């Protein structure tokens, strides 16, 4: 199938070319993000491959349809950036990669927690400057702490088990309980109970109408005064302004983010020679107890291999057998 591959980085080319080594598909890599201005870059491709920071609103989807596109292959698990109702109305197939490496994301959440707690990022800079002082590098034992996990699907389950391995008490909140988590020793509680009892809270639920700004001022007010908050899920789960207020009031002790509400215009690109225009994000970066990575939790060799494999397999199944494998619709 002819595929217009938007928003391409070097690592995408490497892993997708490797997966397409027998040239089953005719892939054209395009650097630009997909949006209303770039939809015209499609020539005769019937498939597009896009990432989470591409725009798939109603206008773009109509543009894709008029260009003759039949299938939109998301090279991501998340699909909250797609207007699924319009895609369905237009008869556009949307596929995704439901699970590539849940270990990658769960392990990154642990990395954020450990780095923040033991101040590894600050210690690294200090030692390189010949400063061997331990002042302000004090951490706490993770062992024995209560960890609240919101969302115990594939990633939350692995994160919970890692935390149990550290000797933590793990509380969870989810709309559905996970039998494997219960068997491992996780205790399901109400959201308010989790917020008020946890020393460390990690978010692993999807972004939807119910979870938008799940962590807002009211939720923060329920939390322990020196809570640690980790978000590797989706930026809009957190009301960033409320979190900044809590950081200023020293109500949140440590904040680790791999995702940010308005990340679409920042993440995955190099702005090191520009001025950041987002004042909320810029304020976040001023706190010594905040660590931000740019949506890299998924970024392991295993995950990229799997993403390339499943994305192209989704397209092949549709092309060869008319089968919609890993399809996303409005009811998913």
- List residues with catalytic annotation: 234, 263, 295
CA dihedral sign, ordered 203, 206, 207, 212: negative
* Tokens 């900044």 found at: 244
C-alpha 53, offset from chain centre: 11
User: Per residue in 180-205, is it b (16+ CB within 10 Å) or e — as a string?
Assistant: ebeeeebebbeeeebbbbbbbbbbbb
Q: At what angle do helices 10-19 and 301-321 cross, to 10 degrees?
A: 50
Question: Using the rule CB under 6 A, is 235 a contact of ligand NAD?
Answer: no
Give dist(CA 103, CA 107) in Å, integer: 6
Sheet holding 290-292, edge to edge: 187-188, 169-173, 146-150, 200-203, 227-231, 252-257, 290-292
Question: Smallest gap, in angstroms, from Cβ of residue 104 to ligand NAD?
Answer: 7
Q: What are phi and psi of 72, to 5 degrees?
A: -110, 110
Question: Using the rule CB under 6 A, is 300 a contact of ligand NAD?
Answer: no
Give dist(CA 230, CA 199) in Å, integer: 11
Question: Dihedral (C-alpha) 235, 193, 159, 264: value to the nearest 10 degrees?
Answer: 0
Question: Using the rule CB under 6 A, is 153 a contact of ligand NAD?
Answer: yes
What token pair was written down for 283? 């304020």
Give dist(CA 235, CA 257) in Å, integer: 8
Question: Smallest gap, in angstroms, from Cβ of residue 177 to ligand NAD?
Answer: 9
Question: Smallest gap, in angstroms, from Cβ of residue 76 to ligand NAD?
Answer: 7
Question: Using the rule CB under 6 A, is 259 a contact of ligand NAD?
Answer: yes
Pick the stretch among 38-46, 58-66, 118-126, 149-157 that binds ligand NAD (CB under 6 A): 149-157
Question: Smallest gap, in angstroms, from Cβ of residue 174 to ligand NAD?
Answer: 4
Question: Dihedral (C-alpha) 263, 137, 106, 307: value to the nearest 10 degrees?
Answer: 50
Question: Smallest gap, in angstroms, from Cβ of residue 198 to ligand NAD?
Answer: 14
Question: Using the rule CB under 6 A, is 54 a contact of ligand NAD?
Answer: no
Question: Using the rule CB under 6 A, is 234 a contact of ligand NAD?
Answer: yes
Q: Which is nearer to ligand NAD, 44 or 262 (CB)?
A: 262
Pick the stretch among 131-139, 230-238, 242-250, 282-290 that binds ligand NAD (CB under 6 A): 230-238
Question: Using the rule CB under 6 A, is 261 a contact of ligand NAD?
Answer: no
Residues numbered 171 to 200 that lie near ligand NAD (CB under 6 A) are: 173-176
Question: Smallest gap, in angstroms, from Cβ of residue 209 to ligand NAD?
Answer: 9
Question: Using the rule CB under 6 A, is 149 a contact of ligand NAD?
Answer: no
Three-point CA angle 117, 113, 78, nearest 5°: 160
Out of 102, 148, 235, 256, which residue is the one contacting ligand NAD (CB under 6 A)? 102
Q: Which is nearer to ligand NAD, 38 or 100 (CB)?
A: 100
Q: Which is nearer to ligand NAD, 8 or 211 (CB)?
A: 211
**Which residues are at the interface with ligand NAD (CB under 6 A)?**
77-78, 99, 102, 105, 150-156, 173-176, 204-207, 210-211, 232-234, 258-259, 295, 297-298
């Amino acid at each position: 199938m002819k595929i217009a591959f938007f928003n391409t980085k070097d690592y995408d080319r490497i892993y997708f070319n490797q997966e397409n080594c027998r040239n089953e598909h005719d892939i054209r890599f395009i650097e630009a993000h997909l949006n209303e201005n770039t939809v015209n870059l499609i020539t005769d491709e019937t498939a597009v491959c896009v990432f989470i920071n591409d725009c798939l609103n109603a206008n773009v989807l109509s543009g894709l349809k008029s260009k003759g596109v039949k299938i939109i292959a998301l090279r991501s698990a998340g699909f909250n950036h797609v207007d699924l109702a319009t895609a369905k109305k237009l008869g556009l197939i949307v596929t995704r990669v439901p699970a590539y490496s849940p270990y990658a994301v769960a392990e990154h959440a642990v990395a954020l927690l450990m780095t923040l707690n033991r101040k590894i990022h600050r210690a690294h800079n200090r030692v390189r400057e010949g400063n061997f002082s331990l002042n302000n590098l004090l951490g706490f034992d993770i062992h024995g702490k209560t960890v609240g996990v919101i969302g115990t699907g594939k990633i939350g389950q692995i994160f919970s088990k890692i935390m149990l391995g550290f000797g933590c008490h793990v509380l969870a909140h989810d709309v559905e309980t996970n039998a494997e988590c219960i068997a491992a020793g996780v205790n399901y509680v109400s959201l308010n109970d989790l917020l008020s009892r946890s020393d460390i809270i990690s978010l692993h639920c999807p972004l939807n109408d119910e979870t938008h700004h799940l962590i807002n001022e009211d939720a923060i007010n329920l939390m322990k005064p020196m809570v640690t908050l980790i978000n590797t899920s989706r930026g809009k789960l957190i009301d960033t302004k409320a979190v900044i207020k809590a950081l200023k009031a020293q109500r949140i002790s440590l904040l680790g983010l791999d995702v940010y509400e308005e990340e679409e215009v920042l993440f995955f690109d190099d702005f090191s020679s520009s001025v950041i225009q987002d004042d909320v994000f810029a304020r976040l970066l001023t706190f010594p107890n905040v660590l931000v990575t740019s949506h890299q939790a998924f970024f392991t060799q295993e995950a990229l291999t799997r993403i390339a494999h499943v994305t192209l397999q989704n397209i092949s199944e549709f092309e060869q057998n008319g089968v919609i494998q890993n399809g996303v619709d409005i009811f998913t």
